[in-house]
Structure 1
Amino acid sequence: MIPSLQSEGLVLAEVNGCLGLITLNRPQALNALSLAMIRDMSALLTAWRDDPRIQAVAVLGAGREGKPAAFCAGGDIRFFHQAALAGDAALDAFFTEEYALNHLIHQFPKPYIALMDGVVMGGGMGISQGAKLRVLTEHSKLAMPETNIGLFPDVGGGYFLSRCPGHSGEWLALTGQVIGAGDAIELGLGDVFVRSSELPAIVEAFRTGAQDSAEHVVATVMERVDLAPVAEHWNARALINRHFSAASVPALFASLAADTDPWARQTLATLAKRSPLMMAVTLEQIRRARAMSLADDLRMERDLVHHCFHLRPGAASETVEGVRALAVDKDHAPRWRPARVEEVTPAEVEAFFRSPWPPAEHPLRALD
């Protein structure tokens, strides 16, 4: 029932009755995903999808004593930086296999429950947004902060952010704003709220209680559901919809600059730190994805991420520069090219959306 795993303990698997339980066990790195962890999750879910004895799956992040919780902080961005500079083929494998895993989760035919306690960012959103039951706590911190490192909200971000109400998807995608449980539920990025003090009992019941049906597994969570906190950003939704409906990033900047509301000023200051090129790519990504299936969105994102590392290879890549500034040198002073939103040309953006592969050779051609 448990296939052999290769991540050397970074992914733990247990079976209790009809439940398969996955624990991301890299707490010192906020359970960020490595390629081996992605492969282990894929192997487990493929095996359990096809095993009639497994009727439900739950996934959680291991914690550290006395430290804030983290479900999964995303992909291993230091690995991205090293692999891109070294020309390591494992970088391509990482994104191909991660996006295939995201698709597997969205299409999983049995209840898949994500206990989204603490930090849930980037790749952590990718392995939770496809869940049948997305469980939030007062410690949940959800975000797609990729524009901060010269990337775009991938792992299906085009698909799930574009389906948020109004233009809140564009707002989350471009700013990387962190939201809590209340906003996540309002925006369709979470389902239920459980107090973190109830999580140990849920996990203990998953591990040792009588889990004899998918209904019982789900009930283990639902019997502890509480009222979610008030959404912090919900009162800004009129401003979000007004400004983030702008036709382009320069038009968005102009719209915010003309608004004296403190929210608009703060939002403009946040966007001013992001990669102008990748904000333009991201806005186009979200708008194209609204009319796409998940599989087509993931194929588009695979094209985009290829270009993030190969249109301008090595240190010239916006993504390599963004990771350098945030996580390697930690000077928090990325040298974006172009440096201003007005300098980004339509041709530069369009180049990201040209697939480097014929459809029959696309690395995600098998997704349906």
Structure 2
Amino acid sequence: MQLLPLPAVLNDIIATPKGHIGVLTLNNPERLHALTDEMIQLLQQALDQWRSDDSIVAVLLLGDGHKAFCAGGDVRSVRENAQLSRGEYCEYSEHFFEAEYRLDYAIHHYPKPIVVWGEGIVLGGGLGLLAGASHRVVTPSSRLAMPEIGIGLFPDVGASYFLNNMPGRSGYLLALSGSVFAASDAIYGGLADYCVGDESRAQFIEQLYQASWVDVAKDDSAEKNSLILSDILSTMAVSAGSSWLAADQLEIDQLCDGEDELTIIEQLLSYNGSSETLLTAVAGLRRGSPLSARIITRQLLASRGKSLLDIFSSELILATNLASHAEFQEGVRALLVDKDKNPQWQHQSVVAVSEDELSAVFTPHWNCSPLEDLTRHDD
């Protein structure tokens, strides 16, 4: 008998003696659990259902296996659908990014504690899921990045918010270089809360069984159950090691200092110091899309001090415009379709990017943001 394929998101319940834990497992192993439209919808449906379910005291989100949590959004599908629009505005892209951002925003403001288990590879949209959780877990094997400059895009999923909240200008360096960083850097940068041992999920789940959860009907249940999770994870914590971001912080702040996008980019490109990590980062900037570099820096500078909802709204404009852009089409082709890793960018340098081009990608196709109905919070 042929078995039916498993769902793209496995939905389960851990029934403990004191309360239930909702468990969502990403199940797209061929693409390292990259988020498809279907997966986004399944995650949102489960969170919406559990929000008002008094038997659910907390949520655990993880990836199947230990190799990856989530390698980002399924940009290959975005590219394929956008190609059908022949360079014109693509409604599928708007739908995809809107749904993804709604999910991320829901995680940021979920009324019950959410643990995101960021073991292994955590890229792009995966970091968007991690960043909004109440309990953000990484392990020594975690390898994180916002690599969008390499595909002609920009760090989205709320990155304009959380990269600006990192120490100094370290978020600018990660965005402009696509640099890979480790658990120690995630914790130093405020993108993760706990480092626990690799393959320690079974131990964590055993601790969930033993916990004395507070009934959701009580007014302070979310706060108390959150403290229970914090105690469990603190007890399990291991050393994350040293952070290269911390070690290079002074130079990063000097290189990324300024209020002008071209100045920041050119300061980075002119780096000739001795730090191997910074030299690698600058090499990533050189390989990346010059158009993306300009968009990334402009978006980060413009997003400072803005609310998370306003930032998601501005990111939605950029993402939907870039999905049909030749730069994104070429970047995804080179990295993920043909895999020759030799993108032919439209510009040879950042100074060649015109103001008209930049203005076009920052201009919305709507009078009212599709995210306007979301509830505003004090961020």
Tell me the TM-score normalised to structure 2 length.
Answer: 0.87
What is the distance in 1 between the residues matched to 2:210 and 2:47?
22
The residue aligned with 1:127 is 129
For structure 1, which segment, 301-310 or 108-117, has the greater mean C-alpha deviation from structure 2 after superposition? 301-310
Contact 1:19 1:217 survives alignment (8 Å): no
Distance 1:221 1:268, change over 3 A: closer
Q: What is the SS of the residue equivalent to 1:13? A: strand
Q: What is the SS of the residue equivalent to 2:140? A: coil
The residue aligned with 2:110 is 108
Offset of residue 90 of structure 1: 3.1
Q: Deviations over 1:270-308 (max 9, x none)?
A: 211111111101111111111211100000000011110
1:188-267 counterparts in 2 under 5 A?
188-206=190-208, 212-213=213-214, 214=225, 215-263=227-275, 265-267=279-281
Contact 2:151 2:332 survives alignment (8 Å): yes
Distance 1:196 1:357, change over 3 A: same
Q: What is the SS of the residue equivalent to 1:32? A: coil
Pick aligned residue for 1:322 from 323, 331, 337: 331
Flag structure 2 segments of 5+ consecutive residues without an equivalent. 215-224
Offset of residue 249 of structure 1: 4.7
Offset of residue 346 of structure 1: 2.6
Offset of residue 9 of structure 1: 1.1
Offset of residue 136 of structure 1: 1.1
Contact 2:173 2:281 survives alignment (8 Å): no
What is the distance in 1 between the residues matched to 2:211 and 2:168?
43
The residue aligned with 1:98 is 100
1:365 and 2:367 aligned: no
1:21 and 2:31 aligned: no
Offset of residue 334 of structure 1: 1.0
Distance 1:302 1:137, change over 3 A: same
The residue aligned with 1:69 is 67
Contact 1:32 1:72 survives alignment (8 Å): yes
1:181 and 2:183 aligned: yes
What is the distance in 2 between the residues matched to 1:259 and 1:272?
12
What is the distance in 2 between the residues matched to 1:262 and 1:246?
22
Q: Deviations over 1:156-213 (max 9, x none)?
A: 111111111111111111111111111111111110111114332113554x656634
Distance 1:257 1:366, change over 3 A: closer
Give percent identity, aligned residues only.
36
The residue aligned with 2:174 is 172
The residue aligned with 1:293 is 307
Number of residue-to-residue matches in the alignment = 350
What is the distance in 2 between the residues matched to 1:257 and 1:305?
26
Contact 2:177 2:282 survives alignment (8 Å): no
Q: Which amino acid is the alignment partner of residue 334 of structure 1?
A: P
Contact 1:248 1:280 survives alignment (8 Å): no
The residue aligned with 1:343 is 352
Q: Deviations over 1:248-270 (max 9, x none)?
A: 45423442454431335443322
1:284 and 2:298 aligned: yes
What is the distance in 2 between the residues matched to 1:62 and 1:209?
23
Distance 1:347 1:234, change over 3 A: same
Offset of residue 75 of structure 1: 0.8
Tell me the TM-score normalised to structure 1 length.
Answer: 0.89
Distance 1:189 1:342, change over 3 A: same
Q: CA RMSD in A?
A: 2.0
What is the distance in 2 between the residues matched to 1:240 and 1:211?
45
What is the distance in 2 between the residues matched to 1:211 and 1:85?
53
Distance 1:46 1:338, change over 3 A: same
Flag structure 1 segments of 5+ consecutive residues without an equivalent. 1-6
